[in-house]
Amino acid sequence: MADMNHAAACGFYCGSCVHVTTLCKGCVPSEGQPFWASAMPGGVCPLFDCCRNAKGLEHCGLCPQLPCATFLELRDPSLGDEEFKESLERRICNLQRRAEIGTEAWLEEVTAG
């Protein structure tokens, strides 16, 4: 069975992150407070806060406003412009796929390949 803790609200697969076992537990078990969120207002990822806390959705792919301004503007500062654009596109595709087949099936797809 896939680890549901690795399915971030924003469409990122936490299992591919080098920090998931060291600095971070992932956004689900940390309730939107991964290690980098301390730099955010309130110490919470704005996407997690909007999606999970404010709207009660499992992930942004279930929101009719995807991609909203928050989704398009929240940026990993280590990414260049092209990398950021690719990251946005990949996460939107991930979220659309999750909405289509469900998170557990999506996790099985991403971990199988």
pLDDT for 103 equals 95
Look over the chain and give the mean of its residue pLDDT values, rounded to a whole number.
92
pLDDT tens for each residue of 57-94: 999 999 999 999 999 999 988 899 999 999 999 999 99
Which band of pLDDT confidence, cut at 50, 70 and 90, is reported for residue 4? confident
Are residues 107 and 95 in contact, defined by beta-carbon separation less than 8 angstroms? Answer: no
CB-neighbour burial class of residue 100 (10 A; exposed 0-12, middle 13-18, buried 19+): exposed
